[in-house]
A and B are shown apart, each in its own frame.
Chain A
């Protein structure tokens, strides 16, 4: 297992046991066991079957979220994200949805904030079109978490080119770079 204290300049890979946990290092979270931090930080890959005939709803949602982020670039800040990917794909004629996120805190910590955000941004329009999604998710955080956990497919391997670096640290480094550029410009 890779060491959390690794130098960011030293790329790292981590093989993860079946089930997604290291048996001797399972951390207990408020809503269940916390998936381990890897060189790419925390994340999930949720895969679920969509209710047949609902594909267009997903594309509508994509356009809606694009507009929401353009209008308020900080609207997803609470999720402490690096990246999110939404994918639709087919298996034997059925359409499945994949929602893959990379973020800086374990999902357990900000579960309620995520639910609140999903509701305010209408992200529910995607999840409510998945088979088995709890109808009372807005007021039943444990049921929401249970759905996420049941449909999460943990990685068996993760790799980070700049391991364990948070999005905040990346943004700080870029700000510093820009500030140095400005300082050098002023010296000309």
Chain B
């Protein structure tokens, strides 16, 4: 039975759901289990290193590394979760991200056939997410986990990705230079207050299984409850950012550095400083961009209905249409992750090395939240009746689409928009609570529903 009025179980919820670690680097390791016994033994070994939300909230300053573990549906099966139990998980999770590629817009260059690191393989069973305060700590943890894996020959490393923050390190931003982590939903009962303009804190069931959501009490939870309660789903997306191509595009469409900055801002909806165009339509305002009490405090329906400030098809407007979409509270997602690959200095030409964003989108329903955002907001060519556009930053582009920038007296239309990003991998993971991790490690091949 689920207690719908219970407070959040901070001791059981993995920290990544409710906290943001002050990490400058990290590493993702993608694993495969030869058999259930090997997977369970490895899990029993490593589970104690996974921190709860309560642990991280209590002592973030004293910690230097933060570990998260999650599993694909095949991973749960390999660990011994029964088919009866797996059948209670949502269809999209059971199918996995590869099977949902067309729905997500992962076609052409983004198709799973081109993914790297074995992420499109059915042999992908688990991910270990390490966030580390610095590179020395990352390397220490890397070695420690390599030692752990050496003790468990039935668990193999499919691939790994080292994370690197992009300089300057005083604020989070991607390789294109856009300030990141500006718009995150707050969760009721988490202790985190929403910033102005972010709306009220949302019911925890939008992100954590076993709690009321914006529609009412929890329902349809995967069974047994010990496995699903305090868990969540994570969509992993590894996006290569084509920085040289992006900068070439800005130079092609902006005659001066100021015009190039404006083009960059029009694609995103914010200046690269983070200042939203709704509040700073003509000129960048870095102080505004850095101020969480102001940089999210706007809406569209009344402030900018025609997109003269923030184009209707811009990345920010697609990913969070705010008051111009219905039932927004049922579409929100938590985003965690980091950049990877070397920084390309502003004056340097494209060096051909891979760099990008490797992020997790965390939500209680992949089909209602993540897949909706990908299918409708990012890749629907007719979003807001735009006719022939997709998200200019993360949408699937083949050079045939356009981008319209409303402007009086006549709008500007850029045709032949190139792909600034390419999907290099992805997967759907289930993020169990800590009790569920222990249950998975110690319940060999029973998994009977209760």
B330–A116 touching, CB < 8 Å = yes
A166–B367 touching, CB < 8 Å = no
Alpha-carbon gap, A30 to B100, bound state (A): 8
- From A16-24, A82-90, A133-141, A154-162, the one touching the partner chain is A133-141
Please classify the interface of chain A as helix (H, G, I), strand (E, B), loop, or mixed, using the class held by over half of its residues: mixed
Known contacts A141-B368, A166-B385; is-contact A116 B327 (Cβ 8 Å): yes
Residue of B nearest to A143 (CB): B220
A30–B326 touching, CB < 8 Å = no
A-B pairs with beta carbons under 8 Å apart, 5 shown? A29-B103, A110-B376, A113-B327, A136-B219, A139-B216
Beta-carbon contacts of B214-243 to A below 8 Å, as 1s and 0s? 011001100000000000000000000000
Residues of B within 8 A of A117 (CB): 326
Residues of B within 8 A of A104 (CB): 382
B180 at the interface (CB under 8 A from A): no
Alpha-carbon gap, A139 to B365, bound state (A): 12
Known contacts A30-B92, A30-B375, A112-B368; is-contact A139 B380 (Cβ 8 Å): no
Instruction: Give the Cβ gap from B366 to chain A, nearest Cβ, in Å.
Output: 9
Q: Count of chain A residues with Cβ under 8 Å from any Cβ of B?
A: 24
Contact among B219, B372, B380 for A112, CB-based, below 8 A: B372
Residues of B within 8 A of A116 (CB): 215, 326-327, 330
Residue of A nearest to B213 (CB): A139
B326–A113 touching, CB < 8 Å = yes
A95 at the interface (CB under 8 A from B): no
Instruction: Give the Cβ gap from B110 to chain A, nearest Cβ, in Å.
Output: 15
B371–A139 touching, CB < 8 Å = no
Beta-carbon contacts of A48-87 to B below 8 Å, as 1s and 0s? 0000000000000000000000000000011000000000
- A-B contacts besides A29-B375, A105-B380, 8 pairs, CB < 8 Å: A30-B371, A31-B367, A109-B375, A110-B326, A110-B376, A116-B215, A116-B326, A168-B385
Residues of A within 8 A of B372 (CB): 30, 109, 112
Residue of A nearest to B215 (CB): A139
Residues of A within 8 A of B219 (CB): 136, 139-140
Residues of A within 8 A of B367 (CB): 30-31, 141
B354 at the interface (CB under 8 A from A): no
Alpha-carbon gap, A28 to B95, bound state (A): 14
A112–B376 touching, CB < 8 Å = no
Residues of B within 8 A of A77 (CB): 326
Question: Which among A112, A116, A138, A140 has the greatest number of chain B C-beta atoms within 10 A?
Answer: A112
A169 at the interface (CB under 8 A from B): yes
A169–B102 touching, CB < 8 Å = no
The 9 closest A-B pairs by CB, nearest first: A139-B219, A78-B326, A28-B102, A168-B385, A113-B326, A109-B376, A116-B327, A30-B371, A112-B368
